[in-house]
Amino acid sequence: MENQTDAIIIGGGVAGLSCARTLVDAGKTVHLYEADDAVGGRIRTDLVDGFRLDRGFQVLLTAYPEAKRLLDYSALRLRPFYPGALIRFQNKWHRVADPLRQPLSGIASLFTPIGSLGDKLRMGRLRVLGTQRYQFGPDQDTLSALRAEGFSHSMIERFLRPFLGGVFLENELETTARKFASVWRYFSAGDTAVPALGMGEIPRQLAASLPEPTLRLGTPVAALELGGIRLENGERPRARAVVVATDAAQAARLLETKGDPPQFNSVRCLYFSADSAPIPDPLLILNGDGAGPINNLSVMSAVSPDYAPEGKALISATLLDSGGRDQAALEQQTRTQLASWFGAQVNDWRLLRNYHIPNATPHQTRPPSEHPRVRPGVYRCGDHCGLASLDSALVSGRAAAESLLSDPI
Ligand SMILES: Cc1cc2nc3c(=O)[nH]c(=O)nc-3n(C[C@H](O)[C@H](O)[C@H](O)COP(=O)(O)OP(=O)(O)OC[C@H]3O[C@@H](n4cnc5c(N)ncnc54)[C@H](O)[C@@H]3O)c2cc1C
């Protein structure tokens, strides 16, 4: 009976799914309305000609505490990246062992054009002392924090800017240093991995743990109403509480939030199929030159062979801030850059998909301060409520559920 539903959740990304899971575990009846034809939101994997294409390159950091708590890692068959990176700089490859987890041996492997002895010591200091002062001290942007740490220009430009830019999805490094602190902590404490069958397996696993009638797919919500919601198809489901678990832009619309519209970082991900892998290792490849459209690249089939059909390789190239640029010209520039890295073999690579994701992550120059309770009976969650990541979205879903459960509704 619709009018006895305890909670309606709007949005089936990982935040909404985590919220649903907490409420269901507490014995509540939940209906989750998702506009799309499947759960996952920004974490989806498309099957294209036998290739598994994540909608934008993304990874799970195994040290994420909420992910560890909620997900069954062994069922996901996690495939780790090699701990380290390969940096393209001045027409050469420079291999970095792992500056975050083994700062001393890691930075020792950096060639002088990239990192100095001082950088080695700074990495070591950050590793030992941690990044708490950025978590709890006065807020600043990440670039200022890196400069205040004393990192050399070359260390910032060759490694830190493309690496953190690829994490934040903006390479000005204007993102709050609190996000840098949390990223640093989780990269240092565990593996960087993907599920064998793609990132989309994460929301699928969460959804599979919910009882059968919870999910309502393909049902966009038009508005919130007193005591329920109105769907775009005109139906008006009722519930004791509503949780808005959408991205920041949809949340602002549904909750009729005043103030400036939310800002986002945008990203583009180009997938190529090849007959052989240009690099055989499961590595993160970074553009240390700063020139050319590509920020980072990975051979996904080297990380997980299930990402490509037998005998084929899957390459993902990530481009930041490509918003208004002509798509054909951008593809050509990407191919030119790839050819300068890997030679004539690139001519035989086939473009599988070009994903442009304009609202990829919230642009967070300051730490967010949104409370999960909007007003009695109305709650919110989503990555915009914390320092945006898969894990913060999961945390925010639980926080909204706990806030709801603590209210006498
Ligand atoms: C390309 C890319 C790379 C990333 N890389 C990483 C990474 O490496 N590591 C990491 O931790 N994080 C990464 N992130 C961030 C991470 O994916 C997100 O923070 C997280 O998935 C957000 O989840 P969410 O549930 O808050 O929002 P969403 O996933 O956006 O879910 C919101 C859901 O609400 C639905 N919805 C919206 N409006 C309505 C409506 N009116 N009615 C019904 N449903 C509606 C949407 O369809 C969507 O399914 C990346 C993101 C992108 C896009």
Map out the domains of the chain as residue ranges: 2-44+200-260+367-406, 45-80+193-198+264-362, 85-190
| pLDDT for the residue numbered 99 | 65
Q: 70, 81, 355, 390: which to mutate for ligand 1, most atoms within 8 A of CB?
A: 390
Distance 245 CA to ligand 1 centre (A): 10
| pLDDT for the residue numbered 1 | 44
Q: Give the pLDDT band (50/70/90) at residue 406.
A: very high
Average pLDDT over residues 149-173: 94
Distance 246 CA to ligand 1 centre (A): 8
Nearest CA to ligand 1 atom 1: 56
Average pLDDT over residues 245-251: 97
Nearest CA to ligand 1 atom 36: 11
Check the CA dihedral 349-353-354-358 and report its sign.
negative
Nearest CA to ligand 1 atom 4: 58
Beta-sheet pairing, 284-287 with 85-89: parallel
Average confidence score pLDDT of the chain = 92
Distance 352 CA to ligand 1 centre (A): 23
| pLDDT for the residue numbered 146 | 92
CA distance 196 to 128: 33
Average pLDDT over residues 260-269: 94
Global pTM reads 0.95
Q: 57, 247, 303: which to mutate for ligand 1, most atoms within 8 A of CB?
A: 247
Query: Do 2-44+200-260+367-406 and 45-80+193-198+264-362 fold alike per CATH?
Result: no
CA distance 177 to 365: 8
The amino acid occupying position 70 is L
Q: Give the pLDDT band (50/70/90) at residue 123.
A: confident
Query: What number does the ligand 1 atom closest to the CA of 269 have?
Result: 1
Nearest CA to ligand 1 atom 5: 58
Distance 43 CA to ligand 1 centre (A): 6
More confident residue, 213 or 372: 372
More confident residue, 189 or 409: 189
Nearest CA to ligand 1 atom 9: 59
Pocket residues: Cβ below 6 A from ligand 1: 10-16, 33-36, 41-43, 56, 58-59, 220-221, 245-247, 250, 267, 357, 360-361, 382-383, 388-391, 393
Average pLDDT over residues 93-122: 68
**105 pLDDT above the threshold of 70:** no
More confident residue, 216 or 107: 216
| pLDDT for the residue numbered 102 | 61
pLDDT digits (tens, 9 = 90+) for 307-364: 999 999 999 999 997 666 788 889 999 999 999 999 999 999 999 999 999 999 999 9
pLDDT digits (tens, 9 = 90+) for 331-341: 999 999 999 99
Q: Which CATH code is given to the segment(s) 2-44+200-260+367-406?
A: 3.50.50.60
Rounded-to-10 torsion of CA 186, 393, 388, 63: 0
Q: Which of 98-102, 114-118, 205-209, 313-317 is least confident?
A: 98-102
Q: Under CATH, what is the fold of the domain 45-80+193-198+264-362?
A: Polyamine Oxidase; Chain A, domain 2 (3.90.660)
Distance 247 CA to ligand 1 centre (A): 6
Query: What number does the ligand 1 atom closest to the CA of 388 have?
Result: 19
Average pLDDT over residues 45-49: 98
Distance 2 CA to ligand 1 centre (A): 27
**100 pLDDT above the threshold of 70:** no
CA distance 375 to 289: 49
The amino acid occupying position 346 is V
Average pLDDT over residues 75-100: 89
Nearest CA to ligand 1 atom 50: 58
**42 pLDDT above the threshold of 80:** yes
Distance 128 CA to ligand 1 centre (A): 33
| Phi, psi (rounded to 5 degrees) for 23 | -70, -40
| pLDDT for the residue numbered 129 | 64
By 3-state DSSP, what share of the chain in percent is helix, strand and coil, each rounded to 5? 35, 25, 40
Q: Which of 1, 4, 7, 2 is nearest to 378 (CA)?
A: 7
For the chain, what percent of residues have pLDDT higher than 90? 79
Directed axis angle between helix 177-189 and helix 142-149, to 10°?
A: 70
Nearest CA to ligand 1 atom 34: 11
| CB 366, CB 139: distance < 8 Å | yes
| pLDDT for the residue numbered 285 | 97
| pLDDT for the residue numbered 369 | 83
**83 pLDDT above the threshold of 90:** no
Distance 219 CA to ligand 1 centre (A): 17
CA distances from 253 to 15, 171, 222, 260, 261 (A): 18, 28, 10, 12, 9
**2 pLDDT above the threshold of 70:** no
